[in-house]
């Protein structure tokens, strides 16, 4: 009886530790700097959708109307 009680306490301790390590795996990535590619991709996607939809709302919306 005593033994199994100790086991389950040890098991809970290990589970707690596992939980902390899981968080660390995730949080380590969160705290990394975002690679430039990501923001560049998003900027390019935004620009190309402005160009095709023609709703740039900015100063150079008039000139670029694709032929296709």
Minimum Å gap between C-beta 15 and other proteins is: 6
User: Per-residue contact track with other proteins, 8 to 47, x per CB under 8 A?
Assistant: -xxxxxxxxxxx-xxxxxxxxxxxx-xx-xxx-xx--xx-
Minimum Å gap between C-beta 41 and other proteins is: 6
Q: What are the distances in angstroms from CA 15 to CA 12, 22, 25, 30, 58?
A: 5, 10, 15, 23, 55
- Give the integer Cα–Cα distance in Å for 56 and 65: 12
- Give the integer Cα–Cα distance in Å for 28 and 5: 35
Looking at the Cβ atoms of 6 and 64, the one nearer to other proteins is 6
Q: Which residues here bind other proteins, judged by CB under 8 A?
A: 6, 9-19, 21-32, 34-35, 37-39, 41-42, 45-46, 49-50
């Amino acid at each position: 009886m005593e033994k199994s009680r100790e086991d389950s306490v040890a098991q809970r301790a290990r589970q707690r530790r596992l939980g902390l390590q899981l968080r660390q795996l995730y949080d380590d990535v969160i705290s990394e700097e975002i690679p430039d590619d990501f923001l560049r991709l998003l900027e390019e996607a935004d620009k190309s959708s402005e160009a095709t939809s023609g709703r740039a709302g900015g100063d150079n919306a008039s000139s670029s109307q694709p032929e296709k």
